[in-house]
Chains A and B, each alone.
Chain A
Amino acid sequence: MSSATAVPATSQPDASGHFGPYGGRFVPEVLMAPLEELEIAYRDAQQDPAFHAELDDLLRHYAGRETPLYFAKRLSHELGGARIYLKREDLLHTGAHKINNCLGQVLLARRMGKHRIIAETGAGQHGVATATVCALFGMDCTVYMGAEDMRRQEINVFRMRMLGAKVVGVANGSQTLKDAINEAMRDWVTNVTDTHYLLGSALGAHPYPLMVRDFHACMGKEARAQILEREGRLPDAVFACVGGGSNAIGIFHPFVPDANVRLVGVEAGGRGKATGDHAARFSGGAPGVLHGAFSYLLQDDDGQVSLTHSVSAGLDYALIGPEHAWLHDQGRASYVNIGDEEALQAAVRLSRTEGIIPALETAHGVAEAIRQAPLHPGEIFLVNLSGRGDKDIGIYRENLKELDAGL
């Protein structure tokens, strides 16, 4: 790419957790000292070879890293443009990238002597991954989930319960991810002395956005090495869906200094541009604070947080992770949005050309790669295939009635 993309000098936040103006630590005082403690524990663990050795061992033998980089030959051929590679996070244990971060944080919680874990979940993938690592380490686990999300991701609710977690439905507000985080934070301010909040995306107060990114950067590191080995060069563009932004920042991170690699984040366009119909923070949002971080936020003129919509529970959230806001403002990454319908069609197409049913969240990233591929012959695309579609079969059925009818 010849377009002049700015290369940020560093993608480390400042000492108080700001990526440019974004991020920071905006929480009630009760949580401030515990966040300082978490940051110290995290930095300490980062310096400890034993921590890395244990994490790497779990990632490899338990979760199934490294994941394959797969050349989507039939899809690429059909589109007749860019060559599309898929980073197969869908093959990880529990079916999505989320477990990378959960393994890291559960080790950290144990290091800090916390035996109770709480988490929020939208699509249920982070909840399942959290319940999984808690089972593995014998920790008490409570997962907050919006009542609407419990309905649309019911299989994951059962998986969490089977794994021994307590799933608490949240019937406030839009009954989705935002409301689940509100409730998890209320639990945390109450039980902070013995509880670790295992936040599932690159959101929240410092050090979460940094820590979650670092735990997910293995995706980008592997993919970068794999593509260099396969193609002898870097990709031209990297695509990932962006809910809070964890799978995207994890795969983007090692490519940030590579000025010629386009980074494309894909938000949920939902069913249209009207407020309440989408979760496209960069088209309709403005900087604001929610759940501890300053970033682009869907809000009204009075600073009240807007309702959002996406067919995909994991993208249905009003704030984007702060590092994405910064990459956006620097011009280092670009952000587009894909609507419900186009995402559903992309999921069908990937299923039928490659035999891979993606998660609905993931399908948004795939859809944008499908849209751009014909326009860029000769290029190499890397798509983060963040999760598999098993959890979404119910929603696919609801929305693809013609398939059920055998058409």
Chain B
Amino acid sequence: MSSRIAQKFDELRQRDERALVAYLTAGDPTPSRSVSLVLALERAGADIIELGVPFSDPIADGPVIQRAAERALKAGATVAGILEMARRIRQHSQIPLLLFTYLNPVLRYGFERLAAEAREAGIDGCLLTDLSVEEAGDYVQRMRAHDLDTVFLAAPTSTPRRLELVARYSTGFVYLVSRTGVTGEQDQVSGSVTSMVAALRNHTSKPIAVGFGVSRRQHVETLRAEAEGVVVGSAIVRLIEQYGASPDLEQRLETFVRELKQGTRAPELAAR
């Protein structure tokens, strides 16, 4: 059976669109608001949602997502609470949901328990930033047993041997980190994306989504020529930080994300 994530990429390919993958830290500013924010992202055209599970020591994240994790933890976010969020999202939406986090919260929860409960809650897959493919045997097996996708990261430093491993263990799509560094907005898309995508395609025909530093419509338009998807995180999380207390946050997010989504469409079909 093809996963919601795979189906989404198929659908988009037929429309000559790219996937807009939107990240937010679950529980920021509060658990119930996160449900409403995910629905707003979907209305604006986001194709896949990464639900960030906050961790106390997020070494791969820049200041914006670090602060979001702090806020979410303060507001009481836990793995169990985030699965409950997913159940509530599923009452309204079939958008693909990918858990995005660090290993330790999941290790503590237990791979088997997470896989079983996540599947039941309507989660489609998982990405663990600090779990290398070498250490992922048990995790991958348990996720597979519950029909959950496992997305791994490919990086600019990855050797051909590593790209092959990352591609092999990834299902749904492969996440290409566009530059060395932590998450955060950048002025420009890294100039080496083209060659990195080409190197990765030597090892896989799976969809590739490019992330880290993607924050504007123009970035998305540039990447349209390169990959099947783009991931936007910090720019969304920064809006949530700035307007978290305001009733028009959903409206602002929708406006911003609708504009990004235009960049994923064929130029003749995209609204200016």
Residue ranges of A at the interface with B (Cβ–Cβ < 8 Å):
16, 24-34, 36, 172-173, 178, 182, 185-186, 189-193, 286, 288-292, 297, 299, 301-305
List which B169-184 residues lie within 8 A (CB) of chain A.
177, 180-182
24 contacting pairs across A/B (C-beta < 8 A): A26-B130, A26-B135, A29-B154, A29-B158, A29-B166, A30-B155, A30-B177, A32-B155, A33-B155, A33-B157, A33-B159, A173-B57, A182-B58, A182-B59, A189-B59, A189-B181, A190-B181, A192-B157, A288-B108, A291-B57, A292-B130, A303-B104, A303-B106, A305-B56
Cβ–Cβ contact B130 & A289, under 8 A = yes
List the B side residues contacting A34 at CB < 8 Å.
157
State A344–B181 Cα separation when bound (angstroms).
42
List which B96-111 residues lie within 8 A (CB) of chain A.
102-109
List the A side residues contacting B108 at CB < 8 Å.
286, 288, 299, 301-303
Cβ–Cβ contact B157 & A303, under 8 A = no
State A185–B59 Cα separation when bound (angstroms).
6
Besides the contacts A24-B135, A28-B153, A31-B157, what 4 more A-B pairs have beta carbons closer than 8 Å?
A28-B177, A29-B152, A32-B132, A189-B182
Whether B55 is near chain A, meaning CB under 8 Å from some CB there, is: yes
List the A side residues contacting B56 at CB < 8 Å.
173, 304-305
State A26–B129 Cα separation when bound (angstroms).
9
State A299–B182 Cα separation when bound (angstroms).
24
Which of the four size classes fits the interface of chain B? Answer: 35 or more
Given the known A-B contacts A28-B153, A304-B56, are A288 and B107 also in contact in the complex, defined by CB atoms under 8 Å?
yes
List the A side residues contacting B182 at CB < 8 Å.
186, 189-190
Cβ–Cβ contact B134 & A16, under 8 A = yes
List the A side residues contacting B103 at CB < 8 Å.
26, 289
Cβ–Cβ contact B59 & A291, under 8 A = yes
Partner of B135, one of A25, A28, A286: A25
**A26, chain B: closest CB distance, angstroms:** 5
Instruction: Give 7 closest A-B pairs by Cβ, nearest first.
Output: A303-B108, A303-B105, A30-B155, A190-B181, A304-B56, A29-B153, A29-B155
Cβ–Cβ contact A186 & B78, under 8 A = no
State A29–B181 Cα separation when bound (angstroms).
11
List which B79-115 residues lie within 8 A (CB) of chain A.
79, 102-109
Cβ–Cβ contact B156 & A30, under 8 A = yes
Whether B66 is near chain A, meaning CB under 8 Å from some CB there, is: yes
List the B side residues contacting A299 at CB < 8 Å.
104, 108
Closest residue of chain B to A184, judged by CB? B59
State A30–B212 Cα separation when bound (angstroms).
12
Cβ–Cβ contact B107 & A25, under 8 A = no
List the B side residues contacting A173 at CB < 8 Å.
56-57
Whether B73 is near chain A, meaning CB under 8 Å from some CB there, is: yes
List the A side residues contacting B159 at CB < 8 Å.
33, 36
**A392, chain B: closest CB distance, angstroms:** 27
Cβ–Cβ contact A305 & B104, under 8 A = yes
Closest residue of chain A to B105, judged by CB? A303
List which B105-149 residues lie within 8 A (CB) of chain A.
105-109, 129-132, 134-135
Cβ–Cβ contact B59 & A302, under 8 A = no
List the B side residues contacting A290 at CB < 8 Å.
57, 104
**B179, chain A: closest CB distance, angstroms:** 9
Whether B162 is near chain A, meaning CB under 8 Å from some CB there, is: yes
Whether B225 is near chain A, meaning CB under 8 Å from some CB there, is: no
Cβ–Cβ contact A27 & B132, under 8 A = yes
List the A side residues contacting B157 at CB < 8 Å.
29-34, 192-193
